[in-house]
Amino acid sequence: MNKNFHAMTTYYNIVYNGNLALEKGKKEVEASYMEDYWTVLPVERMAIKKAKPKTFNKNTNTSENSNFEIAEEKATKSIQKHSMFMGGKEYNPQIDEAFLLLGKARYYDQRFVPSKDAFNFILNHYPKSSTINEAKIWVEKTNLRLEYFDMAIENLVSLINSTELTPLESFEASTTLAQAYIFENEKRLAIPPLRRAIETAPDDEKRGRLLYIKGQLYSLLGEKDSAMASFDDVIALNRKSPRRYMIHSKLEKLRLQGFENAPWYETELSFQELTENRENRPFLDFIHYDNAVFRLAKDSVDLAIDKFNKSLRQEPKDKYLKSRNYFNLGEIYFDRASYETSGKYYDSTLSNLAQESLEYRQVKRKRDNLEDVIKYEKIAKETDSILNLVEASEEKRIQFFTTYIEKLKEEEKSVFASNKTSKLGNSRFGAQKSQIGGGRANTSEFYFYNITQKQRGEESFRKTWGNIKLTDDWRRNPSRKTDLENDEVIVEEESVKPEFDPQTYIAEIPSDEKVIDSISDERNFAYYQLGIIYKEKFKKYNLAISKLNFLLEHNPEERLVLPSKYYLYKIYDEIGEVELANQWKNEILKSHPDSRYASILRNPEAYRSDAENPQNIYNNLYKSYKSGKYEYVLNEIDTYSKVFVGNSILPKLELLKARVLAKHEGVKAYTEALNYVALTYPQSQEGKYAQKRFEELKRNPPSSEFDMNPGPDEGYLLVFDFNKNNTEESQIQELKNKLEASIQDEQGLELSLNINNYSQNQTLLTINGLKSKLGAEGLAEKFIKNAIFDKSFTYFVITEENYKIAQINKNLDEYLEKK
């Protein structure tokens, strides 16, 4: 009697209500799931949450979905109150159902380890349960979520092959096995279990989903006919399965045809039918997108732009779809040289991509590179327009600016008309509106209380009547003629406004040859940079060729000629235009036989390891910098900066130059050099480092004030000052050798010797480790007495901190004056 009571109470009350809550929670999970049609759909509609960091103040057992919490509570209540586990045996036959409910509730709440424990409890304690096969399947479902794919596949294959399963159990086992193969990227192995699952599917909604997944797998395997057949099966279900599967199946079939080879009329008609069907409105974002891709493949670019924008106007929930729309529009406008517009579309693309994705990084790199394109295209456009006007005849100049002035006048008229309309709207009559339904008329301030309208009125009055005195009968008063003779004068005055006179603009056209040459050089350098950017960063070879050819046709600086020819050779070589590549190669070998580029063309393999390789040159210069050969490094950088125009090694050389200037000329020169690197190469790593360092120095500039009253713990240096113009290097080395031998004899002192470059013509030899000023001066006198050095040598004592300030700011003379 107790057994029957507990069993009936468990099943028909607690577990029943728990299962109702579980089903309600499952529907909410499925409804909130956002399908990703860009990849193979998962068999189960459930978004897996990212792992959150552990917190000590949150109860980890609390469910995010109240329905699953209710289901878990019901299952727990059944077990705690109605279990009859006695003598190693359970007498309530419904407790295994409670454990199954408990495991499912935890599974959908994505607490997979506790879920697996509940299912394993059934396997371990209820081996003869009617739910044993279902429990085994759910154990493997949790194994999938825990990423034990191999274990799940092995166990499921064994279960399917060795056990007689009910149709529902067969469906669950087959779908789980198919999903395991998909996770393992074993697409072909996933198809047989999918077929079994389709045959045993409990409803058409699940059958339609599995058929669509099967079509996707065949499509990825390249088996178009099988994929088409599977998508046809989805379409044949029509209203029996969700419409989303049917629409995406039709779109997949259109893609499988290949948009490049698809017949225009039939394909466009298919898209039109999909668009015009009112039931397809929720899917217009995907339909318009695919239509745009089709039109793009057929080179109907304007039609494609229209469809991409229509897709975006549907406000798609799929963020990746939005990113593809924006990216394609960005590519179109990039090809049309509308770089600012293209950049905006790339920005929108990035805002809809996951930052950790490879695609995000690729688009981000392209967007960053676009900054240089926008910059140099703007320079090229402005300088081209100026130089065209310089070369134009007087007649063409007047014609050009007359057209421009006409546009200005039209704009002024439209502004005046809009102001007039707005004034009418603010007038007594214009403000009258219907007040039906409790509306209120649009009232405005009194004219003379409105400062803006008052100023406009005064300006309009002056334009019409001039600056006249306030007198009686002012309109007919003859005295007014001193300021304004007649209406014809007004017309004449307006016609000679500076902004409406072509000569105003013509006078601004440069005529000085130096200025014109400067503009021409700026234009040519911009074209050179654009040619390199299009080749190296965007692989837009046609654009690169046009820019470099234009440059060579317009008398560029000598330093740009040879690199431009070399890059034209490289472009033609890369795109397989052998004849043109050989033309440029022969041109370089003939006209520039002794150049670095000619040596590269003669023996490209040797160049890769040759000392003339830019990276090798930089490495050698850096070693020279570390060894203190600052003058040599500066001279070499100035030479190679001209040789390596457009090469990626240039920002490295410029940053190295900034560091050498810091040693030679101090922090001011270093800051200016950093600013140059940051502004000239903003997208390079060196440019970004220079910008960061520049901002740090601006925020916290190093002190230039000397401490003339140092504390008792301050360290001191004995400094010997050598002017390189008056002192041989051998003399400095001789003194250094004598001092090194002498300081070793100084017992109780830990002294060291250093040679520092102060400036290009000044070297400082320092003895470090002295504890006091008197001690330093006494040591100098001792060395003079012992004839280590002569009194003619310039020397002084300075604290370590003041020496650092002098080296950073190069203001040693200021210190010596104060001393």
Q: In what order do the strands lie in the sheet with 752-759?
A: 752-759, 762-770, 716-723, 794-799
Q: What is the mean pLDDT of residues 75-102?
A: 70
What is the pLDDT at residue 171? 94
Encode pLDDT of 279-321 as tens digits.
999 999 999 999 999 999 998 999 999 999 999 999 999 999 9
Q: What is the mean pLDDT of residues 741-752?
A: 73
Alpha-carbon span 333 to 44, nearest angstrom: 40
Encode pLDDT of 457-493 as tens digits.
776 676 666 677 776 666 665 554 444 444 444 444 4
Encode pLDDT of 368-413 as tens digits.
878 888 888 888 889 988 888 888 888 888 888 888 888 888 877 7
Alpha-carbon span 579 to 566, nearest angstrom: 15
Q: Which of 479-488, 599-608, 700-709, 772-781 has the lowest mean pLDDT?
A: 479-488
Nearest Cα neighbor of 281 from 240, 316, 229, 256 is 316
What is the pLDDT at residue 93? 64
Q: Confidence band (pLDDT; 50, 70, 90) for 645?
A: low
267 and 293 Cβ atoms separated by less than 8 Å: no
Q: Inform me whether the pLDDT recorded for 221 exceeds 90.
A: yes
Q: What is the DSSP letter of 15?
A: I
Encode pLDDT of 561-619 as tens digits.
888 898 899 899 989 999 999 999 999 999 988 876 787 788 766 555 555 677 888 88
What is the pLDDT at residue 51? 59
Alpha-carbon span 232 to 55, nearest angstrom: 50
Encode pLDDT of 254-273 as tens digits.
999 888 888 888 999 999 99
DSSP string, 181-221: HHHTT-HHHHHHHHHHHHHT-SSHHHHHHHHHHHHHHHHHT
- Provide the CATH topology of domain 614-699: 1.25.40
Those residues whose C-beta lies under 8 Å from the C-beta of residue 681, and which sit 6 or more positions away, are 650, 651, 654, 687, 690
Those residues whose C-beta lies under 8 Å from the C-beta of residue 526, and which sit 6 or more positions away, are 376, 377, 379, 380, 383
Nearest Cα neighbor of 194 from 177, 208, 218, 219 is 177
Tell me the C-alpha to C-alpha distance, in Å, between residue 316 and each of 34, 243, 278, 312, 449: 12, 17, 17, 7, 50
Domain positions in the chain = 1-49+61-126, 260-350, 401-428+444-505, 514-609, 614-699, 716-818
Amino acid at 134: E
Q: CA torsion 353→356→361→364, rounded to 10°?
A: 50
Q: Which of 3-12, 128-137, 392-401 has the lowest mean pLDDT?
A: 3-12
Chain mean pLDDT for the chain: 81
Those residues whose C-beta lies under 8 Å from the C-beta of residue 604, and which sit 6 or more positions away, are none
CATH of 514-609, one of 1.25.40, 3.40.30, 1.10.405, 3.40.50: 1.25.40
Alpha-carbon span 687 to 654, nearest angstrom: 10
Nearest Cα neighbor of 385 from 290, 240, 522 is 522
Q: Which of 47-61, 265-279, 517-531, 547-561 has the lowest mean pLDDT?
A: 47-61
Beta bridge partners of 796: 719
Alpha-carbon span 19 to 361, nearest angstrom: 46
Q: Inform me whether the pLDDT recorded for 245 exceeds 70.
A: yes
What is the pLDDT at residue 728? 67
pTM, full prediction: 0.61
Share of the chain above pLDDT 70, in %: 81
252 and 215 Cβ atoms separated by less than 8 Å: yes
Which CATH code fits 260-350? 1.25.40
Beta bridge partners of 291: none
Strands (E), 744-802: 752-759, 762-770, 794-799
Nearest Cα neighbor of 167 from 196, 132, 137, 138 is 196
Q: Confidence band (pLDDT; 50, 70, 90) for 150?
A: very high
Structure tokens at 602: 């003669």
Q: CA torsion 156→157→162→164, rounded to 10°?
A: 60
- The alpha-carbon radius of gyration of the chain (Å, integer) is 42
Encode pLDDT of 789-808 as tens digits.
766 677 788 888 888 888 88
Alpha-carbon span 738 to 753, nearest angstrom: 11
Alpha-carbon span 215 to 251, nearest angstrom: 12
Q: Inform me whether the pLDDT recorded for 233 exceeds 60.
A: yes
- How many Cβ atoms from other residues are within 10 Å of residue 505's Cβ? 17
Which CATH code fits 716-818? 3.30.70
- Domain 260-350 and domain 514-609 have a common topology: yes
Beta bridge partners of 764: 721, 756
